């Protein structure tokens, strides 16, 4: 009984119910929505968002926001793409296929660290700083790439394979799930989510992120190194956006200076806020964020089935953000503070 | 109880502690020894320096001059965190906490050290937290988030935190103001236990009966200096008051009788569930009606409802004989109400804007009859106000934030006088204001009443209520519990009405 | 922390003397913008003789005039302590609605009317969320920015909608040798500059931005004024959107994409304080010209458009750092 009440009160349960209801509703109209093929489509729609959402979630829990992740994704993907494209010209040999992964993560981390330094050093609102770096990093992507796309043939097949192959397939004799497999990229995304959970719930710094978001004024009085934590949070957000960058190359097989990652930040923010992470800081769980990502994935997968053109996706993300704000407000009636008013 | 001053080494000894803010000395050469195992009260009027002293000990402020010795070693306390590490904890009246984190986490946050990635030992944290909370004999679920805990429970968590860091010196800054008598009893029981364990407690309060019930010694501050340190048994209440104010109470405040006219403000059955219920009273022209009670009794909420900041759910209000339904401050102003709010910085001043703009903020129609601001009119009005209220400033165009607290408050009062209100609601008008300026304020309030305005004065300072008011209303937990005419008003009567459980317990 | 125990409490001494006027003027952020503008013109003229050609500058300005017009209203929104990131998306949606209507056979004046009304409605939606529901404008307008742009995409798809030939070219209409959009910008700047500094409405905008709680206690109708500002910026964004449609000759969903950055940049570069309560129309006015000079300079100097993105991003960050620094130093 107590358990049931907790379940009802918990935000995660609400999202899970929403996912189920949504899938059943769509399935009632288009039964093929409730198939394993469709599950695979949904799962493949989500990993990039999920990886970046883990970083964005930490940023929002700490009462900031990072608008630059789309550009960070684009820039890191471009650096790796160019590494694959020009490795022979630059170094005289082919770099191993996996080089792009650490390179993207490190590049992303550096860009995120840059955000953190500006925000923390000059005490500026994250939203304006990252609006600036959104433009700045996108511009840098054009500059380094000379505005040229990295085409399919340059992305190593192993990288592309991460989105297609799977470490294991369910044996054929099993009912329903027979022959079903989960691609590497999805496993990686869930792996990141588990790491994020361990970090946020079970390390000192993870808890300090919640403390800062909960009461930024009191945090330094309790000996929390706010500068260190904020820098770490933005660096992680950047690093994960970078990882999402190389996964973009894996998933789509190209890197384009203008398209790659464009508008990505809004999808991620939508997923995070629908997942119950409060824009007032201090509140939010990894599970909720994962469910938020999955819900968006279901919606995105259902659109073509329902005959809704893909062009309406952005509008839906926008509506979802507003809806999540409404829910957030209803859940915590008291203590709504404007982000802008909080000066660290 | 053995005499704690007896030969034992002091836990903390302060020598020549002075503190200046912006060149103004607020604390002057304070010498004070705190013994292990004593509860030591700091008494004094607002601004006398007791809180400043406590904050210096707790590392919130740093002294301008003087030394602190802890266990006979000179210490420097640059931050609250450093104080905590030295075993000194300051418990705020409304504790600073992390509302989204659990009680257990709030207890341990900032404790110990380790790499940022080291594991959080949850089982141990929760176990420790349970043990500490049990030790205090209170029932709090330590896995609950802090949000939603009563203030009393939050204080308990703070005290538990002091124990967790094994503090030897615990400073309680007016801890009892927001508490119910039962909670006060629990707090006192714990404080005595901590003392008996050999810890030292600094207890800041302005309630003599509490000080008498709890403390071993008192130190009295006045105007930034230490006046006396004595065993509590050696002083009568009259002695303490005399030491605190430095002159007999009678001379401290006085005002002439003004002519009391017809009813200006009448309130009937005003209710806002959760804040106040069934409030009825009236204020007449020329009358000063006090509204007393404990912090959180709902006095400010009534004022805010009358003024339309947070309107009441039900009830009838008459202003000058006319029924009004005020749902917005602008409407209240039109009806002739004015409200000087409690927290000047939050609800009063526009810190970075000029004094002039601050003074004329409530009278847009007067300075801009057609929507366009007439600078000459504005300047003349502001100038006149500054002269009349003797506001000390360098220039009308100066940001108001550069003025002293008292002069800021005068500017706010000036703002409201420009609206020519018939009813003036003053919420703690003299809080945080110099004694000298305070006297000026009392004169002004008296003059305003004499000029025929109805005044509702909310104050937590009993002497202020007693000296200024024609009648004193008292609120307790959202209800109006007393309406005491001037002749019958005493500190005891007001207090006992403010604390209803007190009566029940006595009966 | 109780204000009563803070430093202000004990001093009955005379307050600090005011700073001399020259110092007050010199450290105003607008002064910085003005000096930068002069430096920009000077550097530009070294780069190319075009920069001394007023007609050329004015022509270049038309490319930015729509954003600049919205930035003037945005300045007032920011001074009131809020922010609106959605007007660029609003421009796109209003323009799409307008273009779609006229393509469907609705007479142009009516289509314009509907476009403007939709802009107003978008402002109203922002206002409902921010003022009615008390949610932070910064997040709300990120949501509505996505929503409005997304709806524009729903309406226009990936195609561009053409507008009639005669409707094209508002930027070529000259009034006294100045393109009409630039004239509109200058006139609006004068009007809003006066409103902000000379009327009670403007005065109350500053008061709300400085301390909203105090403003409410002083009887200022904060909700009404802020709603007015959001409606105003919605309407002006719609006008800007339709002007853009006329300038470009066709409408796509990505009209004015990324314009929120330029608008915020103009306001910040002009010394508007991101936390509200401070800033002037003059500053934004100067900043708009500065931005045009810088952008044009980069075009003249054959700088890649990508580098321009970089420069804009850097400028935004530098300008808030500088403004925050100036305000924290001089007006505590």
Quote the pLDDT of residue B506.
Answer: 36
Residue C42 in any domain: the answer is no
User: Which SS3 state, helix, strand or coil, does residue C264 take?
Assistant: helix
Map out the domains of chain A with their CATH numbers. Answer: 2-342 (1.10.3470)
How many Cα neighbours within 13 Å face the side chain of A126?
A: 29
Separation between Cα atoms, residue C79 and residue C88, nearest integer Å: 19
Residue C147 in any domain: the answer is yes
Give kind and range of the element (H or E) at residue B15.
Answer: strand B12-21
Check residues C203 and B97 and name the one with the higher pLDDT. Answer: C203
Q: What's the whole-model pTM score?
A: 0.83
Q: What is the pLDDT of residues A136-146, one digit of tens each?
A: 999 999 999 98
Q: What is the pLDDT of residues B174-193, one digit of tens each?
A: 887 777 777 888 889 989 99
CATH of the domain at C62: 1.10.3470
Separation between Cα atoms, residue B327 and residue B305, nearest integer Å: 8
Question: CA angle, A192 as apex, A6 and A105 as ends, to 5°?
Answer: 145
Evaluated on CA atoms A266, A272, A273, A277, the torsion sign reads negative
Q: What is the pLDDT of residues B252-298, one digit of tens each?
A: 455 556 678 899 999 999 999 888 999 999 999 999 999 988 777 88
Nearest to residue A264, comparing CAs of A78, A116, A73, A100?
A73
Residue C216 in any domain: the answer is yes
Secondary structure letter of residue A121 according to DSSP: H
Q: What is the per-residue burial (b if ≥16 Cβ within 10 Å, else e) of C143-155?
A: bbbbbbbbbbbbb
Evaluated on CA atoms B291, B295, B297, B300, the torsion sign reads positive
The answer on pLDDT for C20 being more than 80 is no
Separation between Cα atoms, residue A208 and residue A205, nearest integer Å: 5
How many Cα neighbours within 13 Å face the side chain of B23?
A: 6
Nearest to residue B355, comparing CAs of B390, B405, B403, B388?
B403
Quote the pLDDT of residue A334.
Answer: 38
Q: What is A61-107 written as a DSSP string? A: HTT---TTHHHHHHHHHHHHHHHHHHHHHHHSSPPPGGGHHHHHHHH
Reduced 3-state DSSP string for C28-90: CHHHHHHHHHHHHHHHHHHHCHHHHCHHHHHHHHHHHHHHHHHHHHHHHHHHCCCCCCCHHHH
How many Cα neighbours within 13 Å face the side chain of B329?
A: 27
Give kind and range of the element (H or E) at residue B100.
Answer: none
Quote the pLDDT of residue A342.
Answer: 30
| Beta-carbon separation of C136 and A339 below 8 A | yes
Residue C323 in any domain: the answer is yes
Structural contact between residues A210 and B120, judged by C-beta atoms closer than 8 angstroms: no
pLDDT above 90 covers a percentage of chain A that reads 47
Residue C26 in any domain: the answer is no
Quote the pLDDT of residue C193.
Answer: 96
Separation between Cα atoms, residue B433 and residue B146, nearest integer Å: 33
Nearest to residue C82, comparing CAs of C155, C144, C30, C154?
C144
How many Cα neighbours within 13 Å face the side chain of A320?
A: 28
Overall domain count for chain C: 1
Separation between Cα atoms, residue B187 and residue B214, nearest integer Å: 10
Separation between Cα atoms, residue A207 and residue B246, nearest integer Å: 51
Determine the distance in angstroms separating the CA of A342 from the nearest CA of chain B, rounded to an integer: 14
**Structure token pair of residue A218:** 């009191």
User: Using CB atoms, which chains have 3+ pairs under 8 A with B?
Assistant: A, C
Check residues C251 and A178 and name the one with the higher pLDDT. Answer: C251
Quote the pLDDT of residue B316.
Answer: 94
Structural contact between residues A293 and A244, judged by C-beta atoms closer than 8 angstroms: no
Q: For residue C158, what are the CA distances in angstroms to A300, B331, C150?
A: 18, 52, 11
User: Which of B361, B367, B368 best probes binding to C when mutated, by most C CB atoms within 10 angstroms?
Assistant: B361
- Whole-number mean pLDDT of chain C? 87
User: Which of B49, B204, B372, B382 best probes binding to C when mutated, by most C CB atoms within 10 angstroms?
Assistant: B372
| Beta-carbon separation of B120 and A201 below 8 A | yes
Secondary structure letter of residue B262 according to DSSP: S
User: Which SS3 state, helix, strand or coil, does residue A113 take?
Assistant: helix
Query: What percent of the residues of chain C are helix, what percent strand, and what percent coil, each to the nearest 5?
Result: 75, 5, 25
Separation between Cα atoms, residue C236 and residue C133, nearest integer Å: 24
CA B371 to chain centre: 40
Reduced 3-state DSSP string for B331-349: HHHHCCEEEECCCHHHHHC
Look-up of token digits 């103009």? C266
User: Which of A223, A231, A233 best probes binding to B when mutated, by most B CB atoms within 10 angstroms?
Assistant: A223
Please name the residues between 261 and 290 in chain C that touch chain B, using a CB distance below 8 Å: 277-278
What average pLDDT does the segment A171-178 reach?
Answer: 72
User: Which SS3 state, helix, strand or coil, does residue B478 take?
Assistant: coil
Quote the pLDDT of residue B36.
Answer: 92
The answer on pLDDT for B502 being more than 60 is no
Separation between Cα atoms, residue B13 and residue B31, nearest integer Å: 7
- How buried is B372 (Cβ within 10 angstroms: 0-12 exposed, 13-18 middle, 19+ buried)? middle
Residue C15 in any domain: the answer is no
Quote the pLDDT of residue B4.
Answer: 46
**Structure token pair of residue A320:** 């979802």
B391 CB near a chain C CB, below 8 Å? no
A315 CB near a chain B CB, below 8 Å? no
What average pLDDT does the segment A189-218 reach?
Answer: 93
Determine the distance in angstroms separating the CA of C152 from the nearest CA of chain B, rounded to an integer: 39
Quote the pLDDT of residue C87.
Answer: 96
Q: What is C196-246 written as a DSSP string? A: HHHBHHHHHHHHHHH-HHHHHHTT--HHHHHHHHHHHHHHHHHHHHHHHHH
The answer on pLDDT for B251 being more than 80 is no
Nearest to residue B333, comparing CAs of B418, B434, B269?
B418
Separation between Cα atoms, residue C40 and residue B170, nearest integer Å: 61
Quote the pLDDT of residue B491.
Answer: 75
The answer on pLDDT for B60 being more than 50 is yes
Separation between Cα atoms, residue B395 and residue C17, nearest integer Å: 8
C21 CB near a chain B CB, below 8 Å? no
How many Cα neighbours within 13 Å face the side chain of C118?
A: 26
Q: What is the pLDDT of residues B309-349, one digit of tens each?
A: 999 999 999 999 999 999 999 999 999 999 999 888 888 99
Select from B81, B98, B120 the Cβ nearest to the Cβ of A204. Answer: B120
The answer on pLDDT for B438 being more than 60 is yes
Least confident of A262-276, B141-155, C62-76: B141-155
Quote the pLDDT of residue C26.
Answer: 64
User: Which SS3 state, helix, strand or coil, does residue B34 take?
Assistant: strand
Determine the distance in angstroms separating the CA of A75 from the nearest CA of chain B, rounded to an integer: 29
Please name the residues between 261 and 300 in chain A that touch chain B, using a CB distance below 8 Å: 281-283
C332 CB near a chain B CB, below 8 Å? yes
Look-up of token digits 């000395």? B25
Q: What is the pLDDT of residues B357-413, one digit of tens each?
A: 999 999 999 999 999 999 999 999 999 999 999 888 888 888 898 887 788 999 999
State the residue range of the domain holding C93: 49-327
Q: Phi/psi zone of residue B77: left (φ > 0), alpha (ψ -120 to 50 degrees), beta?
A: beta
Q: For residue C59, what are the CA distances in angstroms to B90, B458, C43, C296?
A: 65, 64, 19, 10
**Cβ-based neighbour number of residue A168 at 10 Å:** 8
pLDDT above 70 covers a percentage of chain C that reads 91
Nearest to residue C272, comparing CAs of C320, C203, C328, C312?
C320
The answer on pLDDT for B500 being more than 60 is no
DSSP bridge partners of B20: B25
Structural contact between residues A183 and A164, judged by C-beta atoms closer than 8 angstroms: yes
Separation between Cα atoms, residue A293 and residue C256, nearest integer Å: 29
Structural contact between residues C201 and C220, judged by C-beta atoms closer than 8 angstroms: no
Spatial neighbors of B17 by CB under 8 A, at least 6 apart, are: B27, B29, B30, B31, B32, B53, B56, B63, B65, B66, B67, B68
Residue C131 in any domain: the answer is yes
Residue C241 in any domain: the answer is yes
Residue C3 — pLDDT band, cuts 50, 70, 90? Answer: very low
Residue C23 — pLDDT band, cuts 50, 70, 90? Answer: low
Map out the domains of chain B with their CATH numbers. Answer: 4-245 (3.40.50.300), 251-336+422-507 (3.40.50.300), 346-420 (no CATH)
């Amino acid at each position: 009984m107590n358990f049931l009440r907790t379940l009802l009160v918990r935000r995660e349960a609400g999202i899970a119910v929403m996912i189920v209801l949504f899938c059943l509703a769509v399935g009632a109209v288009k039964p093929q929505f409730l198939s394993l093929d469709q599950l695979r489509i949904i799962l493949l729609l989500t990993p990039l968002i999920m990886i970046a959402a883990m970083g964005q979630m930490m940023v929002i829990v700490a009462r900031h926001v990072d608008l630059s992740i789309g550009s960070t994704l684009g820039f890191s993907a471009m650096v790796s793409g160019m590494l694959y494209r020009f490795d022979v010209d630059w170094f005289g040999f082919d770099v191993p296929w996996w080089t792009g992964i650490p390179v993207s993560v490190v590049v992303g981390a550096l860009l995120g660290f840059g955000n953190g330094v500006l925000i923390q050093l000059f005490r500026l609102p994250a939203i304006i700083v990252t609006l600036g770096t959104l433009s700045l990093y996108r511009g840098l992507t054009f500059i380094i790439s000379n505005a040229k796309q990295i085409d399919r043939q340059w992305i190593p097949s192993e990288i592309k394979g991460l989105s297609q192959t799977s470490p294991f397939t369910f044996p054929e004799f099993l009912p329903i799930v027979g022959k079903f497999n989960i691609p590497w990229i999805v496993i990686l995304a869930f792996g990141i989510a588990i790491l994020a959970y361990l970090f946020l719930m079970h390390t000192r710094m993870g808890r300090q992120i919640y403390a800062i978001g909960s009461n930024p004024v009191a945090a330094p009085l309790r000996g929390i190194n706010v500068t260190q934590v904020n820098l770490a949070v933005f660096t992680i957000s950047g690093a994960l956006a970078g990882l999402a960058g190389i996964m973009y190359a894996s998933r789509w097989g190209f890197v384009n200076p203008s398209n790659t990652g464009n508008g990505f930040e809004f999808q991620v923010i939508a997923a995070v806020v629908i997942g119950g992470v409060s824009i007032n800081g201090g509140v939010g769980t990894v599970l909720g964020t994962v469910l938020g990502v999955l819900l968006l994935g279901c919606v995105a997968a259902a659109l073509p089935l329902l005959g809704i053109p893909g062009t309406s996706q952005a509008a839906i993300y926008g509506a979802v953000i507003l809806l999540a704000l409404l829910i957030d407000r209803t859940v915590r009636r008291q203590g709504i503070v404007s982000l802008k008013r909080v000066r660290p | 109880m053995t005499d704690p001053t007896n030969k034992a080494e002091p836990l903390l000894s302060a020598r020549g502690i002075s503190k200046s803010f912006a060149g103004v000395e607020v604390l002057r050469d304070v010498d004070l020894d705190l013994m292990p195992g004593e509860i030591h009260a700091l008494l004094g009027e607002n601004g006398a320096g007791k809180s400043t002293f406590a904050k210096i000990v707790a590392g919130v402020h740093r002294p301008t001059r003087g030394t602190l010795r802890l266990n006979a070693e000179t210490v420097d306390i640059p931050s609250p965190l450093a104080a905590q590490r030295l075993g000194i904890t300051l418990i705020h009246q409304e504790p600073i906490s992390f509302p989204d984190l659990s009680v257990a986490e709030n207890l341990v946050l900032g404790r110990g050290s380790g790499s940022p990635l080291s594991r959080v030992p949850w089982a141990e944290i929760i176990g420790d937290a349970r043990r500490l909370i049990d030790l205090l004999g209170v029932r709090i679920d330590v896995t609950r988030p802090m949000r939603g805990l009563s203030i009393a429970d939050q204080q308990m968590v703070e005290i538990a935190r002091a124990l967790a860091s094994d503090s030897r010196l615990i400073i309680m800054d007016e801890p009892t103001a927001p508490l119910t008598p039962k909670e006060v009893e629990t707090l006192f029981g714990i404080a005595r236990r901590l003392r008996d364990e050999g810890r030292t407690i600094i207890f800041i309060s302005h309630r003599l009966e509490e000080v008498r019930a709890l403390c071993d010694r008192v130190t009295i501050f006045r105007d930034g200096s230490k006046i006396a340190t004595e065993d509590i048994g050696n002083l009568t209440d009259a002695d303490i008051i005399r030491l605190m104010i430095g002159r007999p109470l009678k001379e401290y405040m006085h005002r002439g009788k003004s002519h009391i006219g017809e009813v200006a403000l009448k309130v009937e059955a005003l209710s806002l569930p959760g804040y106040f219920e069934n409030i009825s009273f009236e204020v007449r022209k020329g009358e000063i009606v006090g509204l007393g009670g404990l912090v959180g009794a709902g006095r400010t909420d009534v004022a805010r409802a009358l003024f339309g900041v947070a309107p009441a759910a039900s009830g009838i209000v008459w202003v000058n004989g006319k029924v009004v339904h005020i749902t917005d401050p602008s409407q209240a102003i039109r009806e002739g109400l004015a409200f000087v709010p409690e927290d000047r910085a939050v609800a009063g001043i526009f810190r970075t804007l000029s004094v002039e703009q601050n003074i004329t903020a409530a009278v847009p129609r007067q300075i801009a009859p057609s929507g366009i601001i007439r600078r000459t009119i504005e300047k003349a009005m502001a100038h006149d106000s500054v002269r009349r209220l003797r506001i000390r400033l360098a220039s009308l165009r100066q940001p108001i934030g550069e003025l002293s607290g008292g002069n800021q408050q005068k500017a706010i009062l000036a703002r409201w006088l420009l609206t020519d209100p018939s009813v003036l609601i003053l919420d703690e008008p003299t809080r945080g204001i110099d004694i000298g300026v305070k006297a000026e304020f009392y004169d002004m309030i008296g003059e305003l009443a004499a000029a025929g305005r109805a005044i509702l004065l909310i104050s937590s300072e009993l002497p202020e209520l007693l000296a200024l008011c024609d009648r004193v209303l008292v609120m307790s937990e959202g209800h109006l519990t007393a309406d005491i005419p001037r002749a019958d008003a005493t500190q005891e009567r007001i207090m006992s009405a403010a604390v209803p459980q007190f009566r029940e317990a006595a009966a | 922390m109780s204000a009563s125990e803070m430093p202000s409490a004990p001093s009955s001494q005379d307050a600090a003397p005011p700073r001399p006027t020259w110092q007050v003027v010199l450290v105003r952020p607008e002064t910085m913008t003005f000096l930068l503008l002069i430096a920009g013109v000077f550097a530009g003229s070294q780069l190319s003789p075009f920069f001394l050609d007023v007609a050329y500058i004015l022509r270049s300005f038309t490319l930015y005039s729509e954003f600049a017009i919205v930035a003037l209203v945005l300045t007032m929104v920011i001074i009131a302590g809020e922010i609106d990131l959605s007007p660029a998306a609003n421009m796109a949606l209003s323009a799409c609605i307008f273009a779609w209507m006229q393509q469907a056979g609705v007479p142009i004046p009516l289509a314009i009317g509907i476009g403007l009304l939709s802009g107003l409605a978008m402002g109203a939606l922002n206002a409902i969320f921010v003022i009615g529901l008390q949610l932070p404008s910064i997040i709300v307008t990120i949501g509505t920015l996505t929503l409005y742009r997304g709806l524009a995409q729903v309406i226009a798809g990936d195609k561009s909608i053409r507008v009639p030939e005669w409707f094209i070219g508002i930027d070529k209409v000259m009034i006294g040798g100045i393109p009409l959009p630039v004239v509109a910008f200058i006139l609006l700047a004068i009007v809003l500059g006066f409103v902000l500094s000379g009327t009670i409405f403007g005065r109350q905008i500053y008061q709300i931005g400085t301390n909203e709680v105090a403003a409410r206690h002083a009887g200022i109708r904060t909700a009404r004024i802020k709603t007015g500002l959001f409606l105003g910026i919605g309407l002006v964004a719609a006008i800007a959107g339709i002007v853009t449609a006329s300038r470009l000759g066709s409408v796509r969903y990505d009209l004015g994409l990324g314009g929120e950055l330029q608008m915020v940049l103009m306001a910040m570069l002009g010394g508007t304080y991101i936390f509200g309560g401070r800033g002037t129309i003059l500053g934004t006015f100067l900043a708009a010209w500065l931005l045009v000079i810088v952008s044009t300079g980069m075009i003249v100097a054959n700088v890649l458009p990508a580098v321009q993105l970089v420069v804009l991003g850097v400028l935004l960050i530098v300008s808030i750092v500088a403004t925050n620094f100036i305000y924290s130093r001089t007006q505590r």
